Structure 1
Amino acid sequence: MGKSRIVPQVGEAAVRQMLGGADDRQVQAMAVRYLLQLLADAAPGNTLEVRIPPHGAVQCVEGPNHTRGTPPNVVETDAATWVNLATGSLTWADAVAAGRVSASGARADLSDLLPIKWDREALADTPPPTPEV
């Protein structure tokens, strides 16, 4: 049996709610996991682990695999920062410069993968979020 996937309608609704200011923990978890799912789809592999505690983590990006222990390439941030990065309201460079992202390892750079490319028509009626700094 494969991993369960978040259907776009549910994931996009959660992202819309978060961008609209919702701070419900279940909505936040769903939005984070959906955007992590999209990242893993866009950059399959096991070289980089992206962690958004306590909601989820994925391994992505092609390259050398690690087999045991802590992976050598790790990105970690909080849920609000992740949603802002993934949707394009915060740039990777700004997040790193502000210390909102912990990135370790030679392949721990998501700047080429963010914002996550996906069909944003579902978000067309959502006003653009105010970037957090």
Structure 2
Amino acid sequence: MAKRGAVNPGEMRAAVTALRDWLEDPERRPARPDLAKAVRLSLRTLEQIAPGGSVEVRVPPFAAVQCVEGPRHTRGTPPNVVETDPRTWLQLATGHVTWGEAVDSGRLTASGPRSDVSQWLPLVRLERVG
């Protein structure tokens, strides 16, 4: 796979900020392309700040990245997997919810000894509206 270029932090912040209302109110669903862009740029940011291949972070249907130093997997199901929905991922990425809150509520699953990527979150802080 070709190496991707670095994510522009301003572009990632703008993409995520555009979804601020939806992060607080699930009824204010954004356009799919805007949601996809925010998820992909934020996941790629995590990939940049926690390089490696020991953990796979999945946010279906938009993207998955490998990150965190350690043993790299190459085939089959990786031993360290994080999976969540787009809204929960972006809430984690912005500090709207904590890792523990997402796990405890069942909105995030994390398996494997290296799967806790909370030390790299939030990626960008957004002030809450209202």
**TM-score in terms of structure 1 length:** 0.83
Matched, 1:10 2:6: no
Matched residue count = 123
What do the CA deviations read for 1:71-95 (whole angstroms, capped 9, x no partner)?
1100000000000001111000010
- Flag structure 1 segments of 5+ consecutive residues without an equivalent: none
Q: What secondary structure sits across from 1:14 in the alignment? A: helix
Q: Percent sequence identity over matched residues?
A: 50
Asked whether the equivalents of residues 40 and 62 of structure 2 are also in contact (C-alpha less than 8 Å), the reply is yes
> Which of these residues, 95, 114, 119, is aligned with residue 112 of structure 1?
119
- Flag structure 2 segments of 5+ consecutive residues without an equivalent: 23-28
What do the CA deviations read for 1:34-83 (whole angstroms, capped 9, x no partner)?
11011011100000000000010100000111121111100000000000
Q: What secondary structure sits across from 2:58 in the alignment? A: strand
- 1:87 is aligned to 94
> Which of these residues, 29, 32, 43, is aligned with residue 39 of structure 2?
32
Residues 1:6 and 1:42: Cα distance change in structure 2 (over 3 Å) = closer
Residues 1:53 and 1:45: Cα distance change in structure 2 (over 3 Å) = same
CA shift at 1:129, angstroms? 5.1
Asked whether the equivalents of residues 47 and 64 of structure 1 are also in contact (C-alpha less than 8 Å), the reply is yes
Q: Which amino acid aligns with 1:89?
A: H
Q: Which amino acid aligns with 2:84?
A: T
Matched, 1:60 2:61: no
> Which of these residues, 55, 76, 79, is aligned with residue 69 of structure 1?
76
**Separation in 2, partners of 1:64, 1:5:** 23
CA shift at 1:5, angstroms? 5.2
CA shift at 1:2, angstroms? 3.4
Q: What secondary structure sits across from 2:83 in the alignment? A: strand
CA RMSD of aligned residues (A): 2.0
